[in-house]
């Protein structure tokens, strides 16, 4: 009986020792800190700036094709070239049209084309170059003058602006017919005070 109690006490002590040793080896007491994975964020830097280009003012150069326009001529201005030269202004070459002071540009261009054509065609039986003389001009669209070739005579001529373009209205060696003057509405101070009415002269006023 005594031996049985002794064995029970010894067994209880052994069991208690095992339980205590197991408690000491428990993982619950160990705490492992997780390694820090945080890193400092990089500091943002300002993007480099490029200075704006400096605008420089430039002076516009005139185009080589630009030409200076002649001032407009007031319509209705009467020019008596015989007051400048008793024979009027003689045009023997295209460059001579520069002598037509006060004349509209389109009239100068018309006379230049006329003398160029006559010079190219020549005058039959004449050795001298043809000429055009301008004696009076009304900038409203009328002019008076003559065609001639030295040593070969010549003829009177009237020019008028019709339909926006200059044209030869009449040329001859006699009195201008009234129908032509009335058709182009020639002013009498340029065309004269008389005209031919079917073989008879009559007064012309306009």
What is the rounded distance in angstroms from the CA atom of residue 144 to the CA atom of residue 136? 5
What is the model's pLDDT at position 145?
98
Is residue 37 in some structural domain?
no
Q: What is the sign of the dihedral through the CA atoms of 163, 169, 128 and 92?
A: negative
Rounded to 10 degrees, the C-alpha dihedral 170/173/179/182 comes to: 60
Is residue 40 in some structural domain?
no
Quickly state the pLDDT bin for 71 (edges 50, 70, 90).
Answer: low
What is the total count of domains within the chain? 1
Whether the predicted pLDDT of 84 surpasses 50: yes
What is the model's pLDDT at position 168?
98
Is residue 35 in some structural domain?
no
Is residue 136 in some structural domain?
yes
Is residue 13 in some structural domain?
no
Whether the predicted pLDDT of 74 surpasses 90: no
Whether the predicted pLDDT of 140 surpasses 50: yes
Q: What is the pLDDT of residues 1-38, one digit of tens each?
A: 434 443 443 444 344 443 333 444 444 443 444 444 44
Is residue 206 in some structural domain?
no
What is the model's pLDDT at position 60?
54
Domain region containing 169: 78-174
Is residue 45 in some structural domain?
no
Whether the predicted pLDDT of 127 surpasses 80: yes
Whether the predicted pLDDT of 58 surpasses 60: no
Is residue 91 in some structural domain?
yes
What is the rounded distance in angstroms from the CA atom of residue 147 to the CA atom of residue 24? 144
């Amino acid at each position: 009986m005594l031996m049985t109690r002794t064995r029970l006490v010894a067994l209880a002590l052994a069991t208690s020792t095992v339980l205590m040793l197991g408690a000491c080896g428990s993982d619950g007491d160990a705490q492992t800190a997780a390694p820090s994975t945080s890193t400092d964020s990089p500091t943002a830097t300002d993007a480099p700036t490029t200075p704006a280009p400096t605008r420089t003012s430039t002076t516009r150069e005139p185009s080589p094709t630009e030409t200076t326009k002649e001032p407009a001529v007031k319509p209705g201005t009467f020019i008596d070239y015989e007051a400048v030269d008793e024979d009027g202004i003689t045009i023997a070459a295209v460059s001579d049209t520069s002598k037509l002071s006060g004349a509209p540009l389109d009239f100068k261009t018309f006379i230049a084309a006329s003398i160029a054509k006559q010079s190219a065609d020549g005058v039959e039986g004449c050795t001298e170059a043809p000429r055009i003389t301008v004696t009076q001009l009304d900038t409203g669209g009328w002019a008076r003058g003559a065609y001639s070739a030295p040593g070969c005579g010549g003829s009177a001529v009237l020019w008028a602006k019709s339909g926006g373009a200059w044209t030869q209205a009449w040329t001859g060696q006699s009195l201008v017919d009234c129908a032509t003057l009335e058709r182009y509405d020639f002013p009498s101070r340029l065309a004269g005070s008389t005209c031919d009415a079917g073989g008879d002269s009559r007064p012309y006023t306009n």
